[in-house]
Amino acid sequence: MSARRQLSFDDLGTPLAEATLVVVDLETTGTDPAADAITEIGAVKIRGGEVLGEFRTFVDPERPIPAYIASLTGITDASVAGAPSIRTVLPMFLDFVGEAALVAHNARFDIGFLSAQAAACEISWPRPRVLDTLALARTVFRRDEVRDHKLSTLARHVGASITPDHRALSDARATVDVLHAIIERLGAAGASTLEDLGTAHRRATPTQLRKKHLAAGVPPVPGVYQFLDAQGAVLYVGTSRNLRSRVRTYFTAAETRRTVLDILPRVESIRVIECATPTEAGIRELRIIGREKPAANRRGLNPQKAHWLRLGPGGQGLRAARLAKAETDGSAQLGPLTSRHEVEPLRALLTDAILGRGAAFETSSHREVTADGHRARLRRAILEDPTEVLDHVATRLRSHVEAGRYEDAEKLRRLAHTYLTAARRACRLRALAEVPLLIAARPSTEAVIGGRGWELLAVRHGRFSGTTLVAAGKDPLPFARSLEMTGAGEADLAAPLCQGYHQEAEILLSWLEGEGVRTVLVDGSWQVPARARFDQDHLARRFARTGSAAEA
């Protein structure tokens, strides 16, 4: 425990001279994170005024770049031809960021795009601390000093070494100079920590100031925190790699969420659960939310609920299901889906693709699929190979595009994305749920005695069973044997496709698919499920083939 405490922030916060910051700027195809895409990412990592590294890459937006955007940025379809997709770039960018705070000019735009893309790609967004140089500049540079707070205006005002030109890395470099000028101004006013900088443009509420003492004594370790009322009822649950640092932010101006501010007057104490690793903390947070259902945790309030599209056994057709079942009877399932409203469009897509256009309107969801060939093709599209469905989608997409029906094309593309995402999720959950016991190791991101070592994780049928840290140079096998003796009761709660605990399983899957993971012990067989078949790139390749065929 003491080794982890060495990583904690100072009681008064993180000194600005020691804070690692990543200044980021994006170029995109538009302004809507839900509908537009990233075309370029530029970032500069700094600490104490020194540049530690830079990150810059084009990103294939997988759609045409509007002419006015190309004119503004100079980034054209030719510029991004052959560039990696955001699914490839985003993990690389997050690795570059590490545990640094993110800085952006108008951070709502840049961070909004990054977090939206992470959600769309099913990549865990780490929720880093975010600083907005636009908001800070409005506090530091008054209108009698600058005519506006555009990056170009500020860069010129502070004498930045780089002129912003609507290219990601140039703009990020210019933002670094603006940030340093802001820090110089605020430093003279007494701001000395990262926390001071993050709240310089806001003020804490009287309730936050009055309740601030509740954070005293919270340890600086990974874990879960619970806000309790006078009767001990759980009002809110959260998790952090550093409990002390995270909990203290709730009583500063950095906390602005209405759902949290509304419960603070009722908070009388804070309970913490120290965890060996952030992974364990994330699992315990999910389980507590599922059990206690605190009102302020609106997202994930019922983590056990899910929606599935199920191909029933025998001659049964496709229908909605709330519970995943064993597939040993010849059935097959897609999901979990994010909403029940996705079920019917997916059923129509699969039915049209396998049985023919219009079949979805002629066949009710309860009618039997009588042809063995049709049934086998549906099952293959759900479990193994989406090619037949994607060929159907690609052909219709080409028809829509050539006819200028771009809204219809985008609607179909999103439906195909929903299908691929659901099939990929089911593929991963299915594979993990079938393993009675898996113990794996990966290089630890936490400090242990003797330096960085190994983080061991035990999983039973997709449920968290235990974890521990092993110092570098020590044999992890004895620790794995100890984990093998714990958590046996988790197997009694196992369900097909991790039904009822899929969110927990997906946290574990993300861990198992990380860099440097090694299998230590396994009961049965395990391999990270191949997911390339159910990938957006597969649809892009099928669509490209329709264009080649038309030209031929």
Q: What is the pLDDT of residues 87-129, one digit of tens each?
A: 999 999 999 999 899 999 999 999 999 999 999 998 989 889 8
pTM over the 0.75 mark: no
Task: Walk me through the domains of the chain, giving residue ranges and CATH numbers.
Answer: 2-198 (3.30.420.10), 206-292 (3.40.1440.10), 307-431+534-551 (no CATH), 436-525 (no CATH)
Contact 59, 89 (CB under 8 A): yes
Give the C-alpha distances (Å, rounded to integers) separating 260 from 195, 250, 397.
19, 8, 44
Q: Which of 157, 166, 180, 374 is catalytic?
A: 166
pLDDT of 314 reads 75
Length of the chain: 552
What is the rounded CA–CA span in Å between residue 371 and residue 351? 13
Q: What are phi and psi of 49, to 5 degrees?
A: 85, 0
**Ordered strands of the 332-337 beta sheet:** 318-321, 307-311, 332-337
Below-70 pLDDT ranges, the chain: 1-13, 189-190, 199-202, 298-304, 357-372, 445-451, 528-532, 547-552
Provide φ and ψ at 109, rounded to 5°: -70, -60
Establish whether 166 is a catalytic residue.
yes
pLDDT of residue 546: 77
Using alpha carbons, list the distances in angstroms from residue 547 to 69, 109, 187, 336, 401: 25, 35, 59, 33, 11
Phi, psi of 443 (to 5 degrees): -55, 135
C-alpha 166/C-alpha 393 separation (Å) is: 36
How many other CB atoms sit within 10 Å of the CB of residue 205? 17
What was the pLDDT predicted at 6? Answer: 32
The sign of the dihedral angle between the CA atoms of 514, 519, 524, 527 is: positive
Burial of 441 per CB tally in 10 Å (0-12, 13-18, 19+): buried
Please tell me the predicted confidence (pLDDT) of residue 11. Answer: 39
End-to-end Cα separation, the chain, in angstroms? 67
Residues with Cβ within 8 Å of 508's Cβ and at least 6 positions away in sequence, in order, are 279, 283, 432, 457, 459, 462, 464
Q: How far apart are CA 430 and CA 417, in angstroms?
A: 20
508 touches 432 (CB < 8 A): yes
Helix, strand or coil, per DSSP, at residue 359: helix
